[in-house]
Amino acid sequence: KQEVTQIPAALSVPEGENLVLNCSFTDSAIYNLQWFRQDPGKGLTSLLLIQSSQREQTSGRLNASLDKSSGRSTLYIAASQPGDSATYLCAVNNQAGTALIFGKGTTLSVSS
Amino acid sequence: NAGVTQTPKFQVLKTGQSMTLQCAQDMNHNSMYWYRQDPGMGLRLIYYSASEGTTDKGEVPNGYNVSRLNKREFSLRLESAAPSQTSVYFCASSLDRRYEQYFGPGTRLTVT
């Protein structure tokens, strides 16, 4: 059964710092991987989608990488801002593409 | 575009009552999903509809039924609510199951 783990569970950094969030998954037979942001009491906002054939995707200050063979993905956030404070969720789509399996998230706090 | 909309936003039920959660999307997406989010458990798939006219069980389908009313709408029904169904329910949609999922704002359900 696919399991997704995100480390650390919580992270606090000062404004301006570059940071990396980690996601690992146990079954490398995935269709794609998606990173989300969730603000308290809100829904999920999609940040980046990486297909299994891709190595990385970039959007603004965000860069996500995927190493399918080792079961790992990282989300790199450059020059962090207080507005980046949120919970970041990683989810993998199984090989049939029928379900997202989520990690429990990393809660990020960026102080000014 | 409103994206994915859900009604109601909040609901309190007594054990044994029934209710239907409504979800609609205006992005002409083929696939739709229902998830629940619980503290410490993360997000888990309840049911999904890969295309209009089809529905399939996810990880935690017991106690729920779904209806894909048309391409736009996907409803989730609790026939006899139980306290264990207290959760935040999210609806999501994607162009098809290989693509990015977009989430609604959620319904907070409390069963007493």
Q: What is the pLDDT of residue B13?
A: 97
Question: Is residue B14 classed exposed, middle or buried when 0-12, 13-18 and 19+ CB atoms within 10 A define those classes?
Answer: exposed
Tens of pLDDT, residue by residue over A71-86, are 999 999 999 999 999 9
**CA-wise closest residue to B55 among B45, B44, B69, B66:** B66
- Average pLDDT over chain A reads 94
Whether residues B105 and A32 touch (CB distance < 8 A) is answered with no
Touching check for B58 and chain A: CB below 8 Å? yes
Residue A32 pLDDT > 70, yes or no?
yes
Selected residues 89-108 of chain A with any CB under 8 Å from a CB in chain B: 89, 91, 93, 96-100, 102-105
Touching check for A58 and chain B: CB below 8 Å? no
**CA-wise closest residue to B89 among B6, B31, B18:** B6
d(CA A93, CA A48): 13
Residue percentage of chain A with pLDDT more than 70? 99
**Mean pLDDT to the nearest integer, A94-102:** 80
